[in-house]
Amino acid sequence: MADGPAVDHEVSAHSQGSSTGAAEKVGKFVGRIRGGHKAQQQSEYKTDVFKRNFFLTDEGSTQEGVSNPNRDLWRNKEKKAAPHEWVQFSDESRGELSRFLNDHLKNIQDLRKKSGFIPDEDLELLKLFVGDGAKPELDETALTDSITDKLNDPRGWVLGMERYRDVQMLKRLALGARTFTEIESNHVYGIGKGTDLTMEQVDREGFVHKFGREKVMPNWEDIRDFVAKPGVVLAGTAATWALANPALAALWPAGAFAHSALDSGQKIRDALKPYSDAFKVVVADKKMAQYVKDITGGRIDPSDYKVNPTTGTLELDPDKPYYTSINVESVVNDVKKGQEALNRFNRELGIKDFHASPEEFIFRIATGKSAYVEPAPTRYAKRIQDIMDTDPKFKIKDRDEVEGNLKKYMGARRKVMMEMIEDYAETIVKEEADPKSSKVNEKIAAREKDGRVAKKKAEELVKSKERLAEDKTKILDVKTELTSYEAALEPLKTDREAIKTILTDVLRGAFASPEDALVALEKLTNDATSKDSVIINGRPQRPIAASLHENDGWLEGELSKIDAGGGPWAKRPGEKDTAYQERMAGAYTAKSTEHKRREDRIVSELDVIDGVVEKIKAAQQKITKSKEELSESNQQVIKMAEVTKRMEDNHTKIIKWAIAGVDDNALRTLSPDELLEKLNKANSKNKAVGWKSEDNESRRQELLDAIVEAQALNQESLDPKVADRKTNGYNALHGNAAGQYGLSDHMLMTSSVAEIRQHIDDVRAARPTAYNVLVDSSIANAIAEAKNRLRVRVQAFGAVDKVFDKKTEELQGKIEKIPEAFKDELDHLRTVSTLIERRRTGISDKVFGITASPKELAKYTSVDAIPKIGGEYTAAEVKAAAPAGYYEILDLMFDYKNGFKYKITNKDGAEEEVHETREDYFQRIQKLLPPKELAQLMTKSLSGGKNTTDDINKALQYISSRLGKRQDTFRDLRRAFRDTIDTLYKQTGSID
Amino acid sequence: MKNITTLDILKTLPFEEAFKSNLLDNFEKFSPDQQYAIEDIIWDTYDSLCRLKIEENVELAMQKAKDKQEVLDQGFYDRIKQQTEKELEDNFTIAVASADLSETRDALQDIIKTNSSKKN
């Protein structure tokens, strides 16, 4: 015991310092050294030759000579050490483990330096090989020396190989299906070649079947299909009993995958699921994911994977190019090499090829057990051997008595099988059954009033409604930008209206522009030569510049005539001087009065003319001022231009994603949430389309813009004049193509025809041939269209608002009628629930009677048409137009002819019984299991996928023929129903 | 013909008696999930036993073929399989009937015991 305390100290440190599996294992084997093998000295402890029981217990191991034939290894949980045997690992194993440890320890040393996540198992490894206190890190040479030293210690081998296996497993997980298609070539090969993971050939055939295949070739397919299922071909050992039940298969690590693999591609995928589940854990755990990336030198990056939200399966992230970080080939090579190393290690330990590690992992995951699983199938094979060795009933006495010995061997297998099943059944009895029924019923309850899913749905709908209210506010804000601009245009509009009124009402439309009017009006007063009158307020206004001058001349002339005294102004005979002077004074006064009257009239006319001129000029000044206020630098102008351009641009962008189903009609009729769902869905398939749901919040405004623009475009399309205005004016002035003027909507809206005419003339004067000629009517069209564009966009907000109101109402309606949202799901779930509930008493217990009675078989497989009249079948059944056997099978499965009763919680929270009529019930179950589906599922199961048909008539004939000729039995029929129900149950997996 | 139920099959399976009785006696007390799982176990076990029997007979027939006592023709496999199925079915119905009789006998014995104890 001189060296004992040192060992004890180690044990204590390990067992107390950590609760990890690795530490326990170290403690366990050192414990064995202490307790069971005290004779072994420290000198033996540090060597390259080790006792085999450092590595193995006898439980389940297959080393010859280890077993105690009197001990019941299968059932007895006693763990005793194996007899002493010596193991010396080869240079290849030592070299491979050293290489691995070198790389791995370097990686985890680095991880420790940067405080990365390190699993307990690696900490244990570091403790042993590097130390955890004074020497936190070793340089390359020291590390190599430490590894060499510690591999003279069995603990180094145990911990090292444990980690080797674990890293090997992580690589396998990352490879997924490729593990099976490429790695297990010594075990199963051919999977994946050609079609979807089908099995082409299996090696390790038993001699009997090899003989059979060679000699009975014509029947080989059948034989192979048959014998393959029990696993005979694969194992060639006792592991041959049927593993049809995946749950039972889990008890048989070596056979589980093989059986599934042989069965069908689907089962392979099922078998891979635990693999995928295990890696899902790694993907989801950021620390662990980083660890995997670090310890594989970045060659495996779990972030390349994501969980498909619909199927729950693990997939390479479609957003990343496949295998960006996984160097698949190098990982495959690593795993192959690693597998060889593990096989060699096991062989050197005395274990047969370690060919079952993937299946073992599945076993561990599937059963939730973390205990070490030894190489299989040794444990069970050994139990058979034990029975044959110890039970007189199965003991072989005469080695040449082949038939008897074979029966004994089969008998022993039967016995082991029953033992295994009993053990498995005990776990079921202890409440560990797969909760199929509970799961389905929980899902049903979740969808009823106040159930988990119903509440969640209600919350989602309420949130959607709230978002819609927020959207209404958002579009109102945008609308305000446009209406504010519109308001700013009002003074200008008023001024232009004032001028227009003068031109049309006062001047009776004689002038196209105020400028023309001013010229004409000014001519009336300034141009003495002008003879053109102007109609003002309906009266022709003659030119008055000449009249004023003429009036003065007229008075002079008239006075001169009086002064000349001739004619009426001559002194009359007998007229007294005073009378004559008085008469002359009167004449002067009259002429003067007349002159004044004429002058007053002219002045009055001048006032009228000047009044009009002043009005025009005042309006023109106002227009100039308003236009100055509405310059391009005005914020309202800038905002309007921004908003309208943004709406157009966002609409153009989104409408391009027609593949997402977001067209103008969708934009006008769906809610933003409904549209976003489409965009997100399309983006998950093609990232060039739409955007991710995470971006919905930040990009929502883009969608709202597109929605308003779509409404505006729709309103434009309803106006027949829009096209003409665009073609004849707007495009030429607004467009930027060659020959077009590129005037903004704002410029068009704030300019008069004359102003634009002037602009055109100026532009053309500089480059006459570069620009199109436009008549005034086209300019007017352009102005009108610019104004129309703004107007319809403002109006579009109103239309959007109405749609949002309608959607809000719809959401409210859905909130109030939540259960209806789940009708399809509830129909599916209730139908499957019925099948689960009825399977034993309704189906399984009747299959024997069906196959044993030709009359019964004929009833269920009848291809006769059902009577359309007479009332035997309901209208829905007649409409289904299926053969009679279909209805009988459905009745067997669902008892539908008696209708269906179930309980629901009504809106008042009370339990209420619902009675579904035969017809309604038929319609519900037919939706889940229409003739095609039933035909497919049943024939797929019965024929092993070889004669699957969706033709119900052919399917019924197939079933009838197979059962009638006893090619299939009632067991097969029951399995077909079970598989059908399992498939329908699995479909509920997509319902959360 | 009488239907043979899942529990009838359970009665014929070569489980340990105590285990079998526990399942039979408590079957209706198990949860629906347990019943569903146990039903599969019963059927899969029976199915597996049948397949094992067919395998056994195929191998025995192969041995016979080596001694020219069996013909390795195209119908070899179907023939052996159908013979075995018939044998299995016959044995099965007998076993079910026997299990029923056994139940009846047990029930009668209980009655006799009860009666005799009453007399005593």
Mutate which: A845, A942, A977, vs B, most B CBs within 10 A = A845
CA-to-CA distance for B10 and B7, rounded, in angstroms? 5
pLDDT confidence of residue A46: 43
pLDDT reading at A432 higher than 50:
yes
Which pLDDT value is given to residue A63?
Answer: 36
Give the distance from residue B101's alpha carbon to the nearest chain A alpha carbon, in angstroms. Answer: 19
Residues of A within 8 A of B76 (CB-CB) are 216, 219
Q: Is the pLDDT of residue A170 over 50?
A: yes
Nearest Cα of chain A lies from the Cα of B109 at a distance, in angstroms, of 28
Residue pLDDT, tens place only, A937-967: 999 999 888 889 999 999 999 999 999 988 8
d(CA A873, CA A888): 12
Distance CA(A273)–CA(A279), nearest Å, equals 10
Mutation target among B21, B27, B44, B86 for the A interface, most CBs of A within 10 A = B44
Mean pLDDT of A535-540: 89
- As a whole number of angstroms, the distance between CA B97 and CA A534 comes to 127
Nearest to A252 by CA among A416, A405, A407: A416
Statement: residue A983 has pLDDT above 50: yes
How many C-beta atoms lie closer than 10 Å to residue A470's C-beta? Answer: 12
pLDDT of residue A354: 36
Three-state secondary structure call for residue A914: strand
pLDDT of res. A365: 32
- Please report the pLDDT score of residue A420 as a whole number: 74
Helix, strand and coil content of chain A, in percent to the nearest 5, comes to 70, 5, 25
Look at residues A75, A89, A637 and name the one whose alpha carbon lies nearest to residue A382: A75
Chain B hits for A424, CB-CB cut-off 8 Å, are 41
Banded pLDDT at B119 (limits 50, 70, 90): low
Contact B45 A421 (CB under 8 A): yes
| Whole-number average pLDDT of chain B | 80
Closest in A421, A422, A848 to B3, CB measured: A848
Other Cβ atoms less than 10 A from the Cβ of A438: the count is: 15
Whole-number Å distance between alpha carbons of A119 and A321: 30
H/E element holding A709?
Answer: helix A696-718
Q: Residue A845: which of B5, B56, B82 has the nearest Cβ? A: B5
Residue A285 pLDDT level (bands cut at 50, 70, 90)? low
**Which residues are bridge partners to A904 per DSSP?**
A912
Distance from CA of B46 to the nearest CA of A (A): 9
CA-based end-to-end distance of chain A: 62
Neighbouring-strand partners of residue A905: A911
Would you call B55 and A240 a contact, using CB atoms and an 8 Å cutoff? Answer: yes
Q: Do B48 and A230 touch (CB under 8 A)?
A: yes
- In this prediction, residues A646-656 reach a mean pLDDT of 94
Virtual torsion, Cα A629, A632, A634, A638, nearest 10 deg: 150
Residues of chain A contacting B44 with CB distance shorter than 8 Å = 242, 244-245, 248
Percent of chain B having pLDDT more than 70? 80
Amino acid A289: pLDDT: 73
- Highest averaged pLDDT of the listed ranges A287-301, A663-677, A893-907: A663-677
Mutate to test the interface with B, among A400, A418, A984 (most CBs of B within 10 A): A418
A251 closest CA partner among A64, A20, A432: A432
Return all residues near A950 (Cβ < 8 A) that are at least 6 apart.
Answer: A932, A933, A935, A936
Among candidate residues A717, A705, A703, A715, the one with its CA nearest the CA of residue A799? A715
Burial A643-680 (b: 16+ CB within 10 A, else e): bbebbbebbeebbebeebebebebbbebbbbebbbbbb
Inter-chain CB proximity A418 and B45 less than 8 Å: yes
Among the partner residues A216, A406, A969, nearest to B59 by beta-carbon distance: A406
The confidence band for A387, taking pLDDT boundaries of 50, 70 and 90, is confident
ipTM attached to this prediction: 0.87
pLDDT tens digits along A97-139: 999 999 888 888 887 777 767 777 778 888 888 876 544 677 8
What's the whole-number mean pLDDT along residues A56-73? 35
pLDDT for the residue A154: 79
Average pLDDT for A426-437: 75
* Continuous segment of H or E residues that includes residue A911: strand A911-916
pLDDT tens-digit readout, A293-349: 777 766 667 666 666 666 555 555 555 544 344 455 666 677 777 777 877 777 777
Mean pLDDT of A871-886: 96
pLDDT at residue number A222: 33
State the nearest Cα–Cα gap between B22 and chain A, in angstroms: 10
Calpha distance A468→A483 (Å, rounded): 22
3-state secondary structure of A916: strand
Q: What is the pLDDT of residue A224?
A: 31
The whole-number pLDDT of residue A465 equals 93
Q: Are B47 and A975 in contact (CB under 8 A)?
A: yes
Contact in structure between A186 and A198 (CB atoms under 8 Å): no
Both tokens of A942, joined, read 């019965």
Nearest C-alpha neighbor of A699 from the set A675, A720, A731, A663: A675
Q: pLDDT tens, A157-166?
A: 878 887 887 7
Q: Is the pLDDT of residue A738 over 80?
A: yes
Percent of chain A with pLDDT over 90: 29
Q: Which of A237-241, A391-395, A762-766, A920-924 ranks highest by mean pLDDT?
A: A920-924
Q: No. of H helices and E strands in chain B? A: 4, 0
Nearest chain B Cα distance for residue A857, angstroms: 12
The residues near A735 (Cβ < 8 Å, ≥ 6 apart) are A741, A742
B38 to A837: CB separation less than 8 angstroms, yes or no: no
User: Regarding beta strands A86-88 and A49-51, do their DSSP bridges make them parallel or antiparallel, or are they unpaired?
Assistant: antiparallel
* Bond preceding residue A377 cis, omega within 30 of 0: yes
Amino acid identity of residue B43, one-letter, is W
Percent of chain A with pLDDT over 70: 71
pLDDT for residue A856: 94
Closest CA to A826 of A733, A719, A902, A745: A902
* Sign of the alpha-carbon dihedral angle for A369, A374, A380, A382: negative
pLDDT level of residue A271 (50, 70, 90 thresholds): very low
pTM (2 d.p.): 0.52
What pLDDT was estimated at residue A77?
A: 32
Q: Is the pLDDT of residue A379 over 80?
A: no
**What's the mean pLDDT when you consider all of chain A?**
74
Average pLDDT over residues A523-535: 86
Residues of chain A neighbouring B47 (CB-CB closer than 8 A): 242, 244, 971, 975
CA nearest to A699, candidates A639, A654, A652: A654
From the CB of residue A783, how many other CB atoms can be counted at a distance below 10 Å? 25
Instruction: Please say if the pLDDT value at position B105 is more than 50.
Output: yes
How many CB pairs below 8 Å do chains A and B form together?
167
- What value does the mean pLDDT take over residues A510-532? 87
Mean pLDDT, rounded, for A855-871: 94
Cα–Cα dist B10/A137, whole Å: 63
Residues of chain A with C-beta less than 8 angstroms from the C-beta of B23 = 425, 429
pLDDT surpassing 80 at residue A599? yes
Nearest CA in chain B to A407: B56
Q: CA nearest A426 in B: which residue?
A: B19
Between residues A697 and A903, the one the model is more confident about: A697
Query: Helix, strand, or coil here: A88?
Result: strand
pLDDT at A362 over 60: no
Partners of residue A87 on adjacent β-strands: A50
**Among A667, A985, A675, A962, CA closest to A830:** A985
Instruction: Provide the pLDDT for residue A782.
Output: 94
Q: Tell me what the mean pLDDT of segment A479-489 comes to.
A: 89
Q: Measured at the alpha carbon of residue A711, what is the angle toward residues A707 and A716, in degrees to the nearest 5? A: 145
Which of A268, A199, A256 is CA-nearest to residue A377?
Answer: A256
CB contact under 8 A, B78 and A967: yes
What are the phi and psi torsion angles at B86 (to 5°)? -65, -45
Nearest CA in chain A to B72: A216
Q: Please name the member of A422, A841, A848 whose beta carbon is closest to the beta carbon of B15.
A: A422
Are A222 and B40 within 8 A, CB to CB?
Answer: no
pLDDT bucket at A36, cuts 50 / 70 / 90: very low
d(CA B6, CA B21): 14
Residue with more model confidence, A952 or A566 = A952
- Confidence bin at B98 (pLDDT 50/70/90): confident
Q: Which of A208, A244, A413 sits opposite B44 (nearest CB)?
A: A244
Q: What's residue A297's pLDDT?
A: 67
**Least confident piece of the model among A353-357, A393-397, A965-969, B76-80:** A353-357
User: Cβ(B83)–Cβ(B53) under 8 Å?
Assistant: no
Query: Which residue, chain included where needed, has tokens 């489980």?
Result: B15
Q: Are A171 and A296 in contact (CB under 8 A)?
A: yes
